[in-house]
Amino acid sequence: MKTHGHMYRESWWKDLFKIVFRIFDDMKIPEQNPEQYRAQRKEWMTTTCNHALYAVVDVYTQHYAVLAPLLSELLQLLQWCVKQDNEQLARSGMNCLENLVMGTGKHFREDCWVAIVDTITQVYANTLPVGLRNWKPSLTDVPDAVSVHSNASDESSVSYNDKVLFHNIQIHCLVQAEIIQTVDNIVFFPATSTKEDQGGDTSPNPEGMFSYISTSELFRIVDCLIESHNFAKGFNMDTDQRNLLWKHGFKGKTLPNLQKQETSSLQCALRILFKIYTDISRVDDWPRTELNLHRLTLDTFHYYTTIDADSRRLSCGKVVILMLKKMMLLDDDRFLLILAKCYDVICAVIALNNKPDLQSALSQFLLRAKRPLFGAETS
């Protein structure tokens, strides 16, 4: 198809893809005993299904001009892959979504972007690991219970059903992290965000899809990111629940946490809002953006001052540095406006025992404030 597709008649493609999509009908695997069926299904997902998924997206991207009408079916396939209880296939689904958008996004109409964002929001909703927050131990399934030795020096029993549930929750946590990274890569292109996270240049990278996505769709993405952040933050603050999961065999050598999800989702949301706020072509959307941005920065500064765990403070400190750097790039009027909103809590941040990189960012921030406040040069 990749080699000879340019010679195909347009009418052939739809029928051809109907055949291709049947590759992913896993029900063709004959059911035998449950254990053997699960093993065969897992092997099929990791081999045939996984490789075919990349190949189909590759063909679609190469021949997008004629295959554009099949976007909905392809997005449904990617969603199906992410929903399966297979880590490799879930990762591949997210990688293929990124490849699809990066390869064809410049040609999308508005309705295509709506479909892409619909897919993103549905994946977020379907994989939010709610089981982490509400799981409670139950030993009613005693015959199937197995002994689990945790790192808390406890020995407890966990049912087979709970083992399956834990496995699915872990995949959901993985997908949440993957979709956050996918969104960041799509909107900004990978190198930009990586450079910012390492304290480098924050200038925009022209290779991202930001300029092709409407503000309304970007706001929908931000809403998902904030929901993901708030969920992760709530779980990370719930020490009792994290201890409960750990003592009953939830995977990990330390207490389970969603630190990466909490931080990366917030960083991505802030990048998008600050980018909208400085894009002159989106001036009509600035009032709503400003409201969201002020609330989010204020909440993040406040949250940072309440964290007592070193690892979480270090992680959140990276978000604070990103905010300070983005604020410093604003023009004087908007810089003063956001400074006035956050002034008291920034003073509280300064009073903390901060790491050297955050101390440096705070120092640069205060120097930036000299010009609009005192008419002084920021040398």
- Whole-number Å distance between alpha carbons of 126 and 61: 26
**For range 299-303, the mean pLDDT:** 96
Residue 272 pLDDT: 96
Question: Is 284 a domain residue?
Answer: no
Question: Is 299 a domain residue?
Answer: no
Range among 93-97, 150-154, 188-192 with highest mean pLDDT value: 93-97
Question: Is 293 a domain residue?
Answer: no
105, 120, 152: which is the final residue of a domain? 105
Domain holding 10, by residue range, is: 1-105
Residues 211 and 321 in one domain: no
Count how many domains the chain has. Answer: 3
Residues 257 and 128 in one domain: yes
Residue 374 pLDDT: 76
Q: How confident is the model at residue 258 (pLDDT cuts 50, 70, 90)?
A: very high
**For range 89-97, the mean pLDDT:** 92
In this predicted structure, which of 160-174, 229-243, 326-340, 345-359 has the lowest mean pLDDT? Answer: 160-174
Q: How confident is the model at residue 187 (pLDDT cuts 50, 70, 90)?
A: very high
277, 299, 319: which is the final residue of a domain? 277
Residue 284 pLDDT: 96
Residues 71 and 208 in one domain: no
In this predicted structure, which of 242-251, 295-304, 315-324 has the lowest mean pLDDT? Answer: 242-251
Residues 135 and 204 in one domain: yes
Question: Is 5 a domain residue?
Answer: yes
